[in-house]
Structure 1
């Protein structure tokens, strides 16, 4: 992305489950500012736009001078975790409609007889076949007829799908048949989001390619709506700012690219944190380190060797296999909002459940009554009595104490 002329502030924003963090740097003077505000889980763009306005007032930054906004987002990841992706149809080569359900001979829970077989990303009633075939060298063996293509288009229309994944055998070598069907789908169903495996993940291993493309299709409507709202709001708040979206591999991509390939943003927030940590470490003369990025909901760790982060190519997000280059990050459900609870064995455990930003820890005073790590730190005196956000968010020690009272009674202890 080329930097537009004019403007002198570059702003980075990371939307987490509890807080939204901003970092602004003046590329002419080197002046820097950081800012934090609560996230808005219902629509993360609200926290970004409101935070820009608040940061401008608090830090004396003219929003008309912001030239670039780099955004790390968890919208795609959360949509997968919460099952809020779009309704997807799949069109594949004749004879391979069940490939997504068959998968590979991998049994992650081999000895758990009660665990149900995971549901496929696209149910059988929305998986369709097209009579087409490429050979192993990418040469056409059987081209789809116009009648076959029209039948596939009508099947997708009748399914009520919001998005369609087109995944043909050996399309990574020759995507001509995928493009032919995509053209017909877009002409007949202009509101339909279409993902082609030959564009999303043009590599061999059809199961991973099909799965990655299907996940991409499921995320297209979610990211399209979110980025549309963000772009519209940003044009009013910071009209000269170009918007870049962080990728899971650590770089930036345009909004148009993020709308087309939203699967590339699945771990963009944590990846951006690793990139920043590598830059800071290099500046300090360190080449080998372990990064720890702990927020309100989760903690992310990465290994840096020789000043470079490791890259992984296969990962499961919310149980869906995804094969794309991404910074190798380990994530656990432990953060400031992690909730303390008792398991059936009577032992106290913490996480992975989190109070998030709304209602947040009990000490926020927004209605949560379960004890969290933040409540414990407040009672232990590790948090300033002035509260968070430089005193802008007051913390209620009484509510934190009340949240821990049942746990203390169960352990035969006092809250202190």
Structure 2
């Protein structure tokens, strides 16, 4: 199956969040114009101008794409559009937005360039908590950015939330959910905190300065979220993603369905022709490689069939639709019951999975113990 999605990484930020382990750099004094130039060169090398692909989804992420000024961001969007056989056939074109970093002119420019979806990094509507996690905006700025985006004409808006944060109480979390629902956006992504290496939170955790919330509290926060959003008309179409009818993130489904996609930019990941790859992360090294006519890829891994089947299971189970039997058999010419008989029967007996007849799905308890379930599908040969 040919790749029909593009991910572009913009690794610049006005402020580095304490929990973030993505490839990113403070934008001040960085060669941003040069990065935009070599990014375009990388994209043109990978995608032949004579054989432009039929692209259905585009996602500009980071870092913070809106840390770029209006002209720089417009150049990136225009360059991406030149790669696509027919930009009008792109169903979903998303740009990540930081509250307070996109004024009316920048938002109008994005709409004119074909962007039809925004993913706004809110995380919380509690100012003290925002400060504690290193966000550079206030709750009010988040509200103002969402209202401004609506006024410019954006209807497909997603906001990101985080739970399980140090010092985040259930009262703070319920208040954030309540304020989110007041904004009436069609899509919400909500993620629990994971303390990753190479972050400020990791350093503080090792020093004993912060402690993650107990797993039971985190699980309760998730249940409160699911219940509150369900009552408000949202569907949990994936473990961490909730949408109103017809407003699922089509680009993110590329990942969960284990489909291939182009990945461009410093530190970007991609999946093409059965090979997963990661680009060079350090900015000077990435720029130098492109300027020297070299590949931006730092490392690659040809995915064997066994690994593809593993990924099909633990990625597919994240979605409400689950892992479809016909899709699995079409891709691998065998049944998941043939490949994972003992694992599936064990998880069914433990009521962490259920079989709807044509698909396997996580149960309510299975969602709370998702990582434990997913680990069971790692084959050992």
Query: Of Structure 1 and Structure 2, which has the larger fraction of its residues in helix?
Result: 2
- The structure with the largest strand share of the pair is 1
- TM-score using structure 1 length: 0.25
TM-score (norm 2): 0.26
